[in-house]
Amino acid sequence: MVHKSLVTWNIMLLMLARNGFVGDCQNLFRDLMRTGIALSEGSFVAVLSGLVDPEQDLEYTAMIHGLMTKCGFDGDIALVNCLISVYVKCKAMFWAQRLFQEVPAENIVSWNTIIDAFVKSGRPQLALEMFVNMSSRGLVPSQATFVAVIDSCACLKNFVYGESVHAKVIRSGFESDVVVGTALVDFYAKCDNMMSSHKCFSQIEEKNIVSWNALMVGYSNVCSSMPIMILRQMLQFGHLVNEFSFSASLKSSSVLNLPQLHGLVIKMGYEKHEYVLSSLVMAYSRNGLINEALSFVKEISNSLPVVPSNIIAGIYNRTCQYYETVKFLSLLESPDTVSWNLVISACARSNNYNEVFELFNHMHFACIQPDNYTFMSILCVCTKLCRLDLGSSLHGLIIKSNLYNWDTYLCNALIDMYGKCGSIDGSVKVFEEMTDKNIITWTALITAFGLNGYAHEALKRFKIMESFGLKPDALALRAVLSACRYGGLVSEAMEIFKQMGTAYRIQPELDHYLCIVDLLAKSGEVEEAEKIITSMPFPPNANIWRSFLEGSKRQTFVN
Ligand SMILES: *[C@@H]1O[C@H](CO)[C@@H](O)[C@H](O)[C@H]1NC(C)=O
Ligand SMILES: *[C@@H]1O[C@H](CO)[C@@H](O)[C@H](O)[C@H]1NC(C)=O
Ligand SMILES: *[C@@H]1O[C@H](CO)[C@@H](O)[C@H](O)[C@H]1NC(C)=O
């Protein structure tokens, strides 16, 4: 085009932004500025709407904000509202609130923008606080306000506050409104109150597919047969159904009605829809019809999408068909992290350890980000093979992946790995660096000390753990008893053992008995060991007898 008007530019900007060409949009915006044409509201709306990942775009947002002020658009409420929501998405609350304070307080759209932005960015508590502030100024909530506030209550499962909002909805006459009503249906469903949910549904004057689906999803989460009845009703009354209606019905299907539902899925042409297909496979698997699932998938399997493929492979894996798991997923064109995890886990379980490490390398080359499950599988293999070198380089990768800061289970597995591979320093280092320690963390550390021959230290840590108010469980007690067993700490172990049923309220199990009998027998206290064996509430197993007999033999020999 030779002559591009501002409208042309704006349309082009908007098209790029809406279709995810953010970089191109920003480049074009720069070109537009260079032409010297005066920007309009539409230019700013377009460029702002392109900010899909605002967390990385704060600087750019601030620049656009500056430009808006410079061009005299800072009084344009629609634009300011747009900017507020981008700032909230950027988690730049200071700027969002500052802007918000600048717009006239009676502007309900600004309130709605900021409340909605709070909900959408996962801060429903703040949204409710804003709503209270807004109400205290005597502003009348609109449809959009109610929807955002009810959604917040649903996120927080705040039943009491939600009910009071519901009362306000009734007073404002929005009860029959389809958008507000559907939000209420969803809210009550999330609070597990299907009776109120259904009642709100009935109040909606012109129900749409979203309202029907919200009701069905609610029922499907309480495993009732209602979703299927509702689906029949929808079809009977000639309402539209979509993939969400099917997935909700499939979620609550039974062996009896699943074939019929499947038939319906085929009839309505949803069989190859990825989401419905996944729900179908899940439904078959949940109802124990695994062979049926496998056979109907085989019929359409030439290009099965990744999610249902992972579900099928997950079934193979759970039923210990590891070869099938790997074979099935190797057909995938673009496996995702879940697929890789399944293959790695299947290889690890079938003891193909070399393949595990090879797969992990491949994953890296394919630029698939490993997650905590991946690391967990590999770490377990390192522990099993006692490969401290691989384990500690994995530790490096875990630190880089950022999981190190919050994934307690992964860190516990690291402590375990270092302990079992003989590096107590490694265990202690991970332990000290953790901020969020649970009972398993302490148990892993105590085990590590015990395994490496530091019985006194293990005992000391056990006491420290108790002094922090953590109540030892059966595994923690086993860890400290076996540390005593390896270290020959008889009186210390007996003291703990005697307190098990009383102070700790944990009945000793076989492992605990084994530790204590073995320890006593090895220390020559055969009579004491015999007393323990006779006091056992269940028959001793071969290991206990072996420990006891070996102790007695030694005793006879000494005498
Ligand atoms: C609500 O108003 C109070 C008092 O004006 C203020 O301190 C608080 O920050 C406001 N809440 C939010 C979420 O802005
Ligand atoms: C594979 O199955 C086993 C149980 O057999 C399970 O513990 C493991 O988590 C599964 N792996 C994956 C990646 O789902
Ligand atoms: C992995 O992280 C997710 C949360 O992102 C958590 O729900 C899950 O339990 C973790 N799994 C393991 C094996 O640590």
Residue 392 domain-assigned (yes or no)? no
> What pLDDT is attached to residue 425?
97
Q: What is the mean pLDDT of residues 130-156?
A: 93
> What pLDDT is attached to residue 293?
83
Q: What is the mean pLDDT of residues 122-135?
A: 92
The dihedral sign for the CA sequence 238, 242, 246, 247: negative
Q: What is the mean pLDDT of residues 249-277?
A: 89
503: region left, alpha or beta (phi > 0 left; psi from -120 to 50 alpha):
alpha
Closest residue by CA, ligand 2 atom 5: 318
Last residue of one domain, picked from the residues 186, 206, 226: 206
Q: Which of 43-52, 176-185, 288-297, 479-488 has the lowest mean pLDDT?
A: 288-297
pLDDT confidence bin for 301, thresholds 50/70/90: low
Name every protein residue with a CB atom under 6 angstroms from any ligand 1 atom. Answer: 126, 129-130, 133
Q: Is the CB of 408 under 6 A from ligand 3?
A: no
Q: Which ligand is nearest to the CA of 401?
A: 3
Q: What is the CATH number of the domain that holds 131?
A: 1.25.40
Do 111 and 186 sit in the same domain of this protein? yes
Residue 134 domain-assigned (yes or no)? yes
Q: Is the CB of 376 under 6 A from ligand 3?
A: yes
Residue closest to 199 by CA, chosen among 169, 235, 223, 236: 169
Do 136 and 88 sit in the same domain of this protein? no
Residue 180 domain-assigned (yes or no)? yes
In 3-state terms, what secondary structure has residue 37? Answer: coil
User: What's the length of the chain?
Assistant: 559
Residue closest to 485 by CA, chosen among 544, 553, 410, 533: 544
Closest residue by CA, ligand 3 atom 1: 372
In the predicted structure, residue 15 carries a pLDDT above the cut 90: yes
pLDDT confidence bin for 302, thresholds 50/70/90: low
Q: Which ligand is nearest to the CA of 403?
A: 3
Residue 523 DSSP one-character state: T
Who wins on pLDDT, 207 or 52? Answer: 207
C-alpha 332/C-alpha 473 separation (Å) is 44
Among 25-39, 51-65, 288-302, 440-454, the range of highest mean pLDDT = 440-454
- CA within 13 Å, CB half, 198: 9
In the predicted structure, residue 225 carries a pLDDT above the cut 90: no
Residue 355 domain-assigned (yes or no)? no
Do 76 and 131 sit in the same domain of this protein? no
> What pLDDT is attached to residue 558?
62
Last residue of one domain, picked from the residues 105, 133, 151: 105
What backbone torsions phi and psi does residue 2 show, to the nearest 5 degrees?
-80, -50
R_g (Cα) of the chain, nearest Å: 32
Residue 515 domain-assigned (yes or no)? yes
C-alpha 205/C-alpha 200 separation (Å) is 10
Which two structure tokens, joined as six digits, stand for 559?
Answer: 């005498």
C-alpha 170/C-alpha 320 separation (Å) is 55
- CA within 13 Å, CB half, 432: 6
Which ligand 1 atom is nearest residue 97's CA? 14
Who wins on pLDDT, 292 or 172? Answer: 172
In the predicted structure, residue 446 carries a pLDDT above the cut 60: yes
Closest residue by CA, ligand 2 atom 3: 318
Domain count, the chain: 3
Residues spanned by the domain of 537: 508-559
Last residue of one domain, picked from the residues 47, 74, 105: 105
In the predicted structure, residue 559 carries a pLDDT above the cut 60: no
Closest residue by CA, ligand 2 atom 2: 318
> What pLDDT is attached to residue 295?
79
Do 541 and 559 sit in the same domain of this protein? yes
In the predicted structure, residue 294 carries a pLDDT above the cut 90: no
Which two structure tokens, joined as six digits, stand for 190?
Answer: 């999330």
Do 89 and 68 sit in the same domain of this protein? yes
Q: Give me the DSSP letters along 214-264.
A: HHHHHHHHTT-SHHHHHHHHHHHTT----HHHHHHHHHT--TTTHHHHHHH
In the predicted structure, residue 22 carries a pLDDT above the cut 90: no
Do 198 and 123 sit in the same domain of this protein? yes
Residue 50 domain-assigned (yes or no)? yes
Do 46 and 58 sit in the same domain of this protein? yes
- The tens digit of pLDDT for each residue in 325-368 reads 898 888 888 889 999 999 999 999 999 999 999 999 999 898 89
Residue 493 domain-assigned (yes or no)? no
C-alpha 237/C-alpha 128 separation (Å) is 38
In the predicted structure, residue 243 carries a pLDDT above the cut 60: yes
Do 79 and 126 sit in the same domain of this protein? no
> What pLDDT is attached to residue 426?
97
> What pLDDT is attached to residue 20?
85
Q: What is the mean pLDDT of residues 138-155?
A: 94
Alpha-carbon separation of residue 233 from 212, 213, 227 (angstroms)? 10, 12, 10
In 3-state terms, what secondary structure has residue 364? Answer: helix
Percent of residues in the chain assigned helix, strand, coil, to nearest 5: 75, 0, 25
pLDDT confidence bin for 91, thresholds 50/70/90: confident
Do 1 and 94 sit in the same domain of this protein? yes
Do 60 and 133 sit in the same domain of this protein? no
Do 125 and 48 sit in the same domain of this protein? no
C-alpha 268/C-alpha 286 separation (Å) is 23
Residue closest to 179 by CA, chosen among 160, 207, 159, 198: 207
Do 150 and 197 sit in the same domain of this protein? yes
pLDDT confidence bin for 552, thresholds 50/70/90: confident
- The tens digit of pLDDT for each residue in 306-332 reads 888 898 888 889 888 898 889 888 888
> What pLDDT is attached to residue 106?
67
Q: Give the chain's mean pLDDT.
A: 91
Residue 413 domain-assigned (yes or no)? no
Q: Which ligand is nearest to the CA of 127?
A: 1
Token look-up 């072996």 returns 546
